[in-house]
Structure formats: structure tokens, C-alpha cells
Chains A and B, each alone.
Chain A
Amino acid sequence: MNYQEQNISANNFEDCIKCTICTVYCPVTPFNPNYPGPKQAGPDGERYRLKKPYFYDEALKYCLNCKRCEVACPSNVKIGDIIQSARIKYTKSKPSLRDTMLANTDFVGTMSSAFAPIVNATLKLKPVKVVLDSVLKIDEHRQFPAYSSQKFTTWYKKEAAQKQDRFANHVSYFHGCYVQYNYPQLGKDLVTVMNAVGYGVHLLEKERCCGVAKIANRLVKEATRDANINLASIRKSVADNRVVLGTSSTCTFTMRDEYPHLLHIDNADVRDDIMLATRFLFNLVDEGKVKLVFRKDFHKRVAYHTPCHMEKLGWSVYSTSLLKMIPGLDFVALDSVCCGIAGTYGFKKENYKYSQEIGSALFKQILSERVDAVATDCETCKWQIEMSTGVHVDNPISIVAQALDVEATMKANGVSI
């Protein structure tokens, strides 16, 4: 007899025992009194919304979808999913022009990359910031990430693509919008590291934005379209025995978990083949399949910050274990707390103040540790930490690339290209 188990509502919301642990790990609650908190916004509110949509509260938009409530919940209630689903289902207003712009990272990226020097210079101008602030409600204090004039895929096709087939093993790379338009260097670093251990890196047949920003801004139709395009390409890659690596914890998390939970797209057949590069690489080393040889002249004190979606994935152990393998790296573990930006959330004028307050404890800890760099797996955490502390932030893969003795590693793995 199994009737209790079969009687659980969506997102386990009936498993909530009202213990309130989620509320003490919510980064928003202590600073924004307009947010009702995860218990109230999540399972408590859901009971009422199921009775009557009238009970939907617009203040749910202050949830930054960090999922730290879900990580803290001892009863496995999908609190964050309940809140995001409610926002998608019950919000009446259409997404604003600003939200649509912020969410379309790939379209805006394509346009901005084409005119990168102009866009970068323009976005720093005070009058432009004032207009963005007053007209679009994008906070004038927020620094925009710089756009790169050469897209990652342009570099890849020119400099890397030809030799990738010559390696014995192969992976695909979901580079994401950030590597593509803002920071191709991270993609280059991944190619360097994977090539050094004998893996060819390939692009997916088609890649669209993972959709996280579109989901957060309720552009569900557009996000679903992109998700289906991505999954079709991922399926082809997996059929070719190529797992799909990402270097962004949020893109990876979105494709693995938000596609089925929020967009209701079944990805079960390929979900386990979508993973972070640090997880894949760590496992290769851990199982003795590859060796990493590090430079003797690399010395850095590096603090690791756990992005919220990394915390939810539960994979920071892979990134930190990789970093700890580097002999010249003095490792500092930061408290796992939200940096406050949450993607497009911290760009919005109504959130900017709270965004900086949420991150303040983290910024203070980073500054007190006197590190050479912060390592983190999320690009928006990088923007937030660099803007708020002035400390340089790198993806763990970039740090591995900097510390790697490429020739010695290739030799140790018998790679000759």
C-alpha cells in the first residue's frame, strides 16, 4: 500500500512541516521587508493560490531564485520551484521592455559584440547610465560587463576547430552567452585544459541561451523554444558519445533542472550527460584516467565562492578539489552565501540596494582574506564580486589553465598533436 507517497502534490509542497528553516537561509528576507519570505511565498502561499489565484502576491518577484531554501529544507520541499512556478502562472502583467532586454542575453550580446568598443564605452558614460536608470529602471550604479569584439565561436572556428578531431577522446562544450559575447578567454582556457589531457572540444550543432534569464523574467515561450533547440543538439552530441560540458554553474543547472521543473520539458534521457567541466575533469583525475602537471612558478592565494546554483547542484566539491590539487595555490574557503546579484535581478533599480546589502557579508570576507583572486563558477557572481570588491575573479577552469604546465601535462597523458 503506497497511497501516502502517491498523494504528494507538485514540488512536494505537502511535505512542508512549517519548520521555518528555509526562512533563516533566505538571503533576501533580512534586507527586503517587502518580500514575504520563502515559507510564506512558497508552500504557505501555494495553499491559498490553489484555492483562488486572487491570493497571488506580486512581491514574489523579489525572490532571486537562489534555491538556498531548497538546500536548507530537511523535508525536500521544492520551495524555490513553487515560487518561480507561481510567478510564471499567476503574474498578470507582461514583462517590461527592460526585463525583455535584460533577459535576451543572446540577442543583446550579438548586437553588442558587433559594436563592442562603442557599446563598452557608451555603457560607462554617466548620461547613458542616467537614462538607463530613469527610463529603463536599470540601476545607474551597476557596471555592465564589457563585450568582447571577437565572439568565442569566431575564435574557435579560426584557431581551434581544425585540430579537435585529432584527439583520442571528445566532449562538447556549451559555452553560454557570457563566454560567447563577454569573456571568450574562459572558453579558450577550457579548450587548453581539455586538449592537454587528450580531449577534443567541440561546439554543439546549435546553441541558444540556456534561458535562465528568460525564465526569471517570465519569457517562458521564448525560453522553451531555446531549451528545445539546445536539447536537440545535446541529444545529437550524446548520441556521438560526447558529454556536454559547461563552465557556468547557472547554465548547467538550468539545463539539468529548470528545464524539467519550470518549463516542464523532459530531459531525463540526457540530464546526466550535461555537467560542469570541473566535475568531468575532477572525475578523470580521481579515477586515474588523466594526470594534471602544474607549473612550479605558479603561486596564488585564491578564495572560492560557492554560487547559489552551484550550492543547489551540490558540485562545489569538484571545483574546490580541483583547485586544491594545484601545489602553488593557497586555498581559502569562503562562507557559502549569496553574492546578491542573481543574474538580471541585481541590474534592476528596485533590487540594486538589496542586491548590494545581500552581498555585503561576502564582500567583507573577501576583502579581509587578502587574496590574489576569487574563484567561482558563475559569471554574474564574477561581475558582482569584481564590481563590489575590486578583487579579480576567475572561473576554476581558468585558474587550472593558468597553473597548468601544458606541455608536461600532454606528455604525462601521452597526447601528441
Chain B
Amino acid sequence: MKYDTIIIGGGMSGLVAGIRLRKAGQKVAIVSAGQSALHFNSGSMSLLGHEQGRDVANPLVAIERLHPGHPYSKLGAETIRKYASEVAPLFAEAGVTLKGSAERNHYRLTPIGMFKPAWLTLEGYASVDDPKSLPWGKVLVVNVAGFVDFYPQFIELGLSKAGLECVSRTFILPGLETLRKSATEMRATNIARVLKDEVVLEMASQINSYLKETGSDTVLMPAILGLYDENPIRLLRSKVVKPIHLVSTMPMSVGGMRAQMSLCKYFQKLGGTYLIGDKVTAGRFEDGSLKAVSTQNLGDMPLEADNFILATGSFFSHGLEANPTSIYEPIFGLDVEASEHRPEWCDMDIYKKQNYMQYGVVNDDDFHVFLQGRRIDNLRAVGAVLSGCNSMKEESGGGVSLMTSLKVADDILNGKGGKK
């Protein structure tokens, strides 16, 4: 089968690149080995949240100070400014509402009651401009009885440290009784399937009565609604008499899944081909270009394309793998930037900087990758598989994925950076 572009990896990076290319009329296929890391999303994405341990106020300014090998440095602040403004509209087309600005970070509330810098936050999730002056007044934290992936005590502790008064209540919904019989399956996503229409109205009236009883000004609840679309969140917000915000839970992330499914649906609606549960097993390289890839499911019918994008993620998504002696890119064996000395991979103090987190595939200024020292003219990498950034330390994972995906898609469309 022949495509204009094949994208390996069906998470956020792959889908965003795929949508961009498909909208410009390219024939695109995405091969995705299982579901993506978006399922673990916090409800927010960061462009750049930390710089040398301190919170970043304006990511676009701080980006100019990053080291030369960083993906952002290759893109340049102006390109990032341009693409950053295009992300929320692109997600909106797919039905996903994102709020925030690249010029000024806001703060998201973490599940353990801390505040972390963020760039874009999904509809309904709790966020504030400045954690030092919280606008919430007395906070009511509500949870569904029996839902164990959410810890109101942490939130209470965090908010009380910030000087807020906080109370918590649990409620029971008859609609959840079936689910409750299986304790291990009382998960955010399963609950979210039930929380819609009348069940949301019932939940709203219970929350309203708790508001009245406790005299609270703001409600926080786990992000356990809005699996398929944002309607249940909007409905709840319109029925609860005070402001209500969602706090991310332990995985699976309902908001992240909604984003994944919405982007995937949008890509397919645009006419893109999405091959889920399939794995690229090998590539046919000729004269410094990748001609075709074979997959586990398609067997002896390879996928040919003019361009290929590697969007396979980092260790968590198996875009990179490690064995006791080496760190490698498992599909093609691409050149990887990583120390050959295992003791250097990580620091035994988990809170220290972990070197392995910035390992990734070697790439040039246009994100082309290398095989045995030779640049591959039509294979570019995007997102977490790239070397040069420590997304955990920097809080930059979402931004790097989105910025590099948009840039690489545009380069392909403009015929840039091809054969040298």
C-alpha cells in the first residue's frame, strides 16, 4: 500500500502530524502499537514549566535560554510562538477545548494538592493564575464513595497549606451500584461511562445540598466525567450553583482518553488510516532513504511512502528500550544519544536529574534521524523519542511533542529538508 506519509506511533504527536498532513490533502496512515501515553495525561500540557528548578512565568522568553541541542532551540522562539497559537484551534476542530497562553503559564492542581505550571488545560480541570492568591474561598472536595483513585486528604492538606478552608464529602449514586460490585473495576473511565444525562443531574443536586450544608464557595471533584465528549462537564457546571472544577485522578485519565479518542476520530474523519494494535517490524532502506516498512499484521504487504515520521514516544511507550547493556531504538536500530556507561543512566536519588530522561534518537536541525551515522533523508522523529530534552524536569513534554509534530508536518508539505 502506498501513502504520501506513514507515521509510526498513534499518540498525540503522531495524530497531530497526521491531522496536519491530511488536512493539506496528503494520503496518511498511522501505525500504532497499542494505546498511547495520553491515557495518563494530567489534564494539562506544558510548553516549559521549570528552568533550573524554578517555575517559568513566560515560556516563550525562557525557551531562548535553553541549550543548543534542545528541540526548542532547533525550532527557535518565533516558530514556537507561531505554532503555539495554532494548537488550541486545532484541538477545538477535533472537539477538545484547551485553555491557556504560551506567554504566561497558569497553574494546574495536581492530585496531591500541589500547583504546577501549565500551558494548556483541558475543559473543566482546575487551574489558577497564581497559586499564591487562590480565588476559591472555602472549598468543598467531593468524591464518589468507593472510588479509590482519588485522595481528598491530599487535596485538603495542600489547600490548607495555601491557607484555604476545606471540607470533604462523599456521595453515592444509584447508577454506579452495578459497577461498585467489582471493586477493582471502580475506575475513573468506567465511572465516566455512567456519569451522563440524568445521573449528572442527580449528582449536581447532591453536590448542591452539600454546598448548602457546608457553606462552601467552590467545589473540587475527581475528573471522572466527560469520557466521550465535554457535554457531561458542561451540564454539571450549569447545574451546580457554585464554580466546580475537576482534579486529575490516578490513571486512566478521563480527559486524556477523551483527547486521544477525539483526535483519532477527527483524523479518521478527515480520511486518514489508523492501524491500531499493529507494530512496525522492519524498514527497507535504500541509498539513505526509507522506502517501505513492514508491520506485524500486514505481513508481506509492506507500507510504502515518500516520507515517514517516527512518533513512537520514549521508554514508557517503547519508542526507546533498554537492556542491561544498552539503550536502543527498537524498530530500526537508529542512532541513539545515550551514555554507554550504565551507571550514568540514572541517579539513585529519584529526585535528582535523571540522565536517561533526555536520551533519545540522534537528530539534525530538521529532526531527521540517523542510521549508523548516515542521515535518513525522509525519516524524521517527533515528540518524546527525540533526544535533547528532559521533559519531566522541564515540564516540556506536551510542548515538544506538539511543536516538533507541526514543524515536521509543515516541512514535509513544503518539501523542505529532503535529500542533501
Q: Do A and B come from one complex?
A: yes
The residue that A74 contacts in the complex, of B2, B34, B251, B301, with Cβ under 8 A, is B34
Question: What CA separation (Å) do A117 and B35 show in the bound complex?
Answer: 48
- The verdict on A76 contacting B33 (CB below 8 Å), with A4-B324, A33-B178 known, is yes
- The verdict on A29 contacting B190 (CB below 8 Å), with A4-B323, A35-B182, A317-B275 known, is yes
Choose, from A84-92, A153-161, A162-170, A307-315, the stretch at the interface. Answer: A307-315
User: Which residues of A from 272 to 294 have beta carbons under 8 Å from B?
Assistant: 272, 279, 283, 286
* A5 CB within 8 Å of chain B: yes
Output the least CB separation between B179 and chain A (Å).
6
- Chain B residue nearest in CB terms to A272: B299
| B residues in contact with A286, CB < 8 Å | 1-2
Question: What CA separation (Å) do A35 and B182 show in the bound complex?
Answer: 8
B323 near A24 with CB under 8 A, answer no
* A239 CB within 8 Å of chain B: no
* B372 CB within 8 Å of chain A: no
B297 near A75 with CB under 8 A, answer no
Output the least CB separation between A223 and chain B (Å).
24
Cβ contacts A to B, 5 pairs, < 8 Å: A21-B34, A72-B34, A73-B34, A314-B276, A314-B278
| A residues in contact with B251, CB < 8 Å | 19-20
Question: What CA separation (Å) do A21 and B36 show in the bound complex?
Answer: 9
| B residues in contact with A313, CB < 8 Å | 297
- Chain A residue nearest in CB terms to B189: A24
| A residues in contact with B66, CB < 8 Å | none
The residue that A23 contacts in the complex, of B185, B301, B323, with Cβ under 8 A, is B185
A24 near B34 with CB under 8 A, answer no
Work out how many contacts link A and B, with CB atoms closer than 8 A: 104
User: Which residues of A from 31 to 53 have beta carbons under 8 Å from B?
Assistant: 31, 33-37, 39-40
B184 near A36 with CB under 8 A, answer yes
Question: What CA separation (Å) do A34 and B301 show in the bound complex?
Answer: 42
- Chain A residue nearest in CB terms to B325: A1
| A residues in contact with B252, CB < 8 Å | 20-21, 23-24
| B residues in contact with A72, CB < 8 Å | 34-35, 276-277
- Chain A residue nearest in CB terms to B40: A19
| B residues in contact with A321, CB < 8 Å | 1
* B81 CB within 8 Å of chain A: no
- Chain A residue nearest in CB terms to B300: A272
- Chain B residue nearest in CB terms to A77: B34
| B residues in contact with A73, CB < 8 Å | 34-35
Output the least CB separation between A77 and chain B (Å).
9
Output the least CB separation between B381 and chain A (Å).
18
The total of chain A residues at the interface (CB under 8 A) is 42
Question: What CA separation (Å) do A21 and B35 show in the bound complex?
Answer: 7
B317 near A74 with CB under 8 A, answer yes
| A residues in contact with B189, CB < 8 Å | 23-24
- The verdict on A314 contacting B184 (CB below 8 Å), with A33-B178, A333-B268 known, is no
> B319-345 toward A: CB 8 Å interface, digit per residue (1/0)?
000011100000000000000000000
- Chain A residue nearest in CB terms to B37: A74
B182 near A314 with CB under 8 A, answer no
* A347 CB within 8 Å of chain B: no
User: Which residues of A from 257 to 274 have beta carbons under 8 Å from B?
Assistant: 272
| A residues in contact with B187, CB < 8 Å | 20, 23-24
B190 near A30 with CB under 8 A, answer yes
* B298 CB within 8 Å of chain A: yes
The residue that B184 contacts in the complex, of A24, A37, A283, A317, with Cβ under 8 A, is A37
Question: What CA separation (Å) do A242 and B321 show in the bound complex?
Answer: 41
- The verdict on A312 contacting B277 (CB below 8 Å), with A1-B323, A20-B251, A30-B193 known, is yes
* A71 CB within 8 Å of chain B: yes
Output the least CB separation between B37 and chain A (Å).
8
A74 near B325 with CB under 8 A, answer no
- The verdict on A34 contacting B182 (CB below 8 Å), with A72-B34, A311-B276 known, is yes
- The verdict on A24 contacting B182 (CB below 8 Å), with A30-B193, A311-B276 known, is no
| B residues in contact with A71, CB < 8 Å | 34, 276-277
- Chain A residue nearest in CB terms to B194: A30
Most chain B beta-carbon neighbours within 10 Å: one of A30, A31, A279, A336: A30
Output the least CB separation between B189 and chain A (Å).
4
A24 near B275 with CB under 8 A, answer no
B324 near A74 with CB under 8 A, answer no
* B104 CB within 8 Å of chain A: no
Most chain B beta-carbon neighbours within 10 Å: one of A2, A70, A74: A74
4 more A-B contacts (CB under 8 A) besides A20-B252, A71-B276, A314-B295? A21-B252, A24-B257, A37-B185, A70-B277
User: Which residues of B from 164 to 220 have beta carbons under 8 Å from A?
Assistant: 178-182, 184-185, 187, 189-190, 193-194
B275 near A314 with CB under 8 A, answer yes
Most chain A beta-carbon neighbours within 10 Å: one of B181, B189, B269, B277: B277
> A183-216 toward B: CB 8 Å interface, digit per residue (1/0)?
0000000000000000000000000000000000
- The verdict on A25 contacting B318 (CB below 8 Å), with A1-B324, A272-B299 known, is no
- The verdict on A76 contacting B182 (CB below 8 Å), with A24-B189, A25-B35, A30-B190 known, is no
| A residues in contact with B73, CB < 8 Å | none
* B354 CB within 8 Å of chain A: no
The residue that B298 contacts in the complex, of A4, A25, A33, A314, with Cβ under 8 A, is A314
Output the least CB separation between A387 and chain B (Å).
24
* B273 CB within 8 Å of chain A: yes
* B70 CB within 8 Å of chain A: no
- Nearest 6 interchain pairs by C-beta: A314-B297, A71-B277, A74-B34, A33-B181, A24-B189, A33-B182
Question: What CA separation (Å) do A3 and B325 show in the bound complex?
Answer: 11
* B291 CB within 8 Å of chain A: no
A283 near B301 with CB under 8 A, answer yes
> B227-266 toward A: CB 8 Å interface, digit per residue (1/0)?
0000000000000000000000001100001000000010
B318 near A74 with CB under 8 A, answer yes
Question: What CA separation (Å) do A388 and B105 show in the bound complex?
Answer: 51
Question: What CA separation (Å) do A336 and B277 show in the bound complex?
Answer: 12
B182 near A74 with CB under 8 A, answer no
| A residues in contact with B182, CB < 8 Å | 29, 33-37
Output the least CB separation between A269 and chain B (Å).
14
User: Which residues of A from 1 to 19 have beta carbons under 8 Å from B?
Assistant: 1-5, 19
